[in-house]
Structures are given as C-alpha cells and as structure tokens.
Amino acid sequence: MTAEKNTAAEQARKEAETIVEEASDVQQRIRDTLVSAFGEGQAKLSELPEIASAMMDGAIDVLDKSSPQDSKSVLRQVTDGLSDGMTSTANAARLAVEEAQGRGETFAKEDLQRMVDDLKTIEQMMVESTKETFDRFQELAGDQMKDLRDHVDRAYAKARPAIEEAISAALKNPGQFAGETAKTGAKAVPRTAGMLLQAVGGILQGAGDVLSSAGKRSSQSEAKDTVDKGEGI
C-alpha cells in the first residue's frame, strides 16, 4: 500500500470484506464501521465518499468471488448500512453546530464552509455511486439489476434529509475566521480551524459508546436468560 492511499478507506474496505464474508448483522456492522472512522477521529467529512465507496467495492469483490445465492440481499444490507452511517454522520455534524450555537458559541468560518462543501460532495457521491457500483456487478439479470438500483436510490434518499439539515445548520451559524476576535454575543471558543471536526467526532464517539454499552447489556441479558432457562448447559 502506497503512502498516497487513504488508510481509513483501506481499513474500512477490509472490515467491509470481513463483514460480507461472515454475513452476520451486515447492515449494523457496515453502519458502525463507517461511523467509527469519524468518531475515532481517523477521517475528515470530505473522506466519507471515498470510505463509503471503498466499503462497497470491498463488498462487491467478496460477492464476485463467492457468488452466494443471497448476494442481492447482502448488497442491499451493505447499501442500507452505508446510508445509515451517512445519516448518523450528518446528524452529528448538525448537532455539533446547533449545540454550539445554543451555548452562544461559534465555529471558524473555514470549518463551517468546509463542512457545507463536504456534505454537498457526499450528496453528489450518492448520485454517482449507483452507476459506478452496478457497472461492476454485471451478472444480475435486468429485472434484478433494476430492483437493486431502485433499492440503492431509496436507501440514499433516506440519508439526504439529514445531510440537507446539516448543511442548513452550518449556513445559519454566524461563524468567524480562525483567530478573529469574537463578535458581540458569540464566544470565541473555537478560534482555530479544526474544532468542528473534533466536535462531530466527539458526538459520534459518544453515540458509539452508548450503542456499544447497550449491546453488551443486551448480550449479557440474553446470556442470563439462557442460563436461567437451563439452555446451553
């Protein structure tokens, strides 16, 4: 792997391949993989299209090699997981801006404009990715291909409102240039560029921790119920 390659995208692709190979909880695990790249501060919003595309490529490579009977179903789950991940990331971006504004704080204009540009890029990626994806998945019959394309369109359409709301929130934030003295009524907490990305990552990380804890509690509860019922002994 060369230095130019996006390591977050490469790692996400590998994880997507493993998820598809194991074919277990595909949608949720794909979503969690996409979100974790941002929650752990590994990637920027601008890299989301590349990461999502790499994950889809990895999934298709596995399906091309193994040709499972339920390949269409698995690909649907991958698409839904990516859509869920994009929605979660966009919602975190919106919350970061709204929470700061609610506290009378503002982000650097550079950050806000970059976020708007990145979110618009994500929207464009959703439009273009359908064709790119299915150009590589040619073995499906005509009706199957149309059905799958329609599913992808619907899945990405579900993510679009969250992206639009995040863009709207960023455009409404007054912002200030990095290092600029705060305007009256706005605190200069994030006076340097980069703070918005950190805030988004913090929200996603917190959500991931909550989901992880809930999952562990659920698993522990199921295990206890199994023991209480005398099963698995």
Over residues 93-110, the mean pLDDT reads 85
Q: Quick check: is 105 in a domain?
A: yes
For residue 134, the model assigns a pLDDT of 61
For residue 207, the model assigns a pLDDT of 59
Q: Quick check: is 145 in a domain?
A: yes
Q: Quick check: is 233 in a domain?
A: no
Q: Which amino acid belongs to residue 68?
A: P
For residue 229, the model assigns a pLDDT of 39
Q: Quick check: is 222 in a domain?
A: no
What pLDDT, in 10s, does the model give residues 178-213?
A: 555 555 455 544 445 577 888 888 888 875 544 444
For residue 162, the model assigns a pLDDT of 93
Question: Whole-angstrom distance between the N-terminal and C-terminal Cα of the chain?
Answer: 47
What number of residues does the chain have?
233
**Comparing 219 with 96, which gets the higher pLDDT?**
96
DSSP 113-182: HHHHHHHHHHHHHHHHHHHHHHHS-TTS-HHHHHHHHHHHHHHHHHHHHHHHHHHHHHHHS--B-TTPPP
Spatial neighbors of 50 by CB under 8 A, at least 6 apart, are 6, 9
For the chain, the domain total comes to 1
Q: Is the pLDDT of residue 214 over 80?
A: no
Range of the domain at 204: 7-217
Q: Quick check: is 230 in a domain?
A: no
Q: Quick check: is 19 in a domain?
A: yes
Q: Quick check: is 148 in a domain?
A: yes
Q: What's the CA gap between 44 and 178, in Å, rounded?
A: 18
Q: Quick check: is 164 in a domain?
A: yes
For residue 1, the model assigns a pLDDT of 37
For residue 226, the model assigns a pLDDT of 33
